[in-house]
Structure 1
Amino acid sequence: MRSRHLSRVIAASPAVVHAVASDPDRLAEWAAGLATADVTRDGDDLLVDSPMGRVRVRFVPRNDLGVIDHDVVLPSGETVTNPVRVLAHPDGAEIVFTVRQLDLTDEEFERDCAAVEADLERLAGLVEGR
């Protein structure tokens, strides 16, 4: 299994980037690889219409450490854990998303990585006001 760490520097404080990226109500604004519409809450879980179908998302509890890890329960029942960190950077903040290949083909893995990179670019545009 391969992992790839994808990152994007964002010209904003880590606290601002973390606040936007971890807000379930803002997922559809930037995370097209996960949310194609507004989320529905089911207790601490989120129900999300995604490109993969209806999925259940569980974020780690809110924290001041910049951690936005989340599990995505796919329609098949498989759970995918997505490590995400917001780090301080000399130019503001850097968000780092780890993509794991798991059972994906090389082509599917590359497609997932491209989707995450596009999501991080949309997040940067949203936070930076572009």
Structure 2
Amino acid sequence: MDSQHIGVVIRRPPDEVYEFASNPANMQRWAAGLAQSEVSREGDTLVTESPMGRVSVRFVGRNAFGVLDHEVTLPHGETVYNPLRVLPHPEGSEVVFTIRQDGIDEETFSRDAAMVRDDLARLRGILEEVSPLREDSP
């Protein structure tokens, strides 16, 4: 099974990126590959409409390490584990999402990777639009 680590550098501090990305209210704004509607909460599970249909999402607990790993339960019942991390980077943060080619063909894997790249680029655009770090910032 192949894996692909897709990353993007965001010129914002890691804690700001983590806070924004971990807030379910923001998912529809940046994670179009996952949330195409408002996200509702059912206990500790998030529910939303996705390109695949209605999905439920469970994130790991809040933490100081930038870990946003989550499980997505698809409409047909399969649950997919998705590693997602916000890492410190010399220019601010690096967000890394790992996708795995587990039981899917090459075309679907490539399409999934493209959706993740688009979502991470959207996240960067939103966060850097607010107030990007300058080259001379610490």
TM-score, normalised relative to structure 1: 0.98
Q: Which residue of 1 aligns with 2:135?
A: none
Structure-2 separation of matches of 1:100 and 1:76: 19
Q: 1:28-107 maps to which residues of 2 (within 5 A)? A: 28-107=28-107
Residue 107 of structure 1: how far off its partner (Å): 0.1
**1:53-105 per-position Cα deviation (integer Å, ceiling 9, x unaligned):** 00000000011110000000001110000001110000000000000111111
SS in 2 for 1:55: strand
Aligned length: 130
Q: Which residue of 2 aligns with 1:27?
A: 27
Structure 1 runs (4+) deviating above 2 angstroms are none
SS in 1 for 2:41: strand
**1:29-73 per-position Cα deviation (integer Å, ceiling 9, x unaligned):** 000000001101000000110000000000000111100000000
Over alpha carbons, which structure has the higher Rg? 2
Q: Which residue of 1 aligns with 2:4?
A: 4
Structure-2 separation of matches of 1:14 and 1:69: 16
Structure-2 separation of matches of 1:81 and 1:75: 15
Structure-2 separation of matches of 1:75 and 1:21: 23
Letter in 2 for 1:96: V
Residue 108 of structure 1: how far off its partner (Å): 0.1
**RMSD after superposition:** 0.8
Letter in 2 for 1:18: Y
Letter in 1 for 2:45: D
Runs (5+) with no aligned partner, structure 1? none
Structure-1 separation of matches of 2:70 and 2:56: 10
Residue 129 of structure 1: how far off its partner (Å): 1.2
Structure-1 separation of matches of 2:40 and 2:14: 27
Structure-2 separation of matches of 1:122 and 1:104: 25
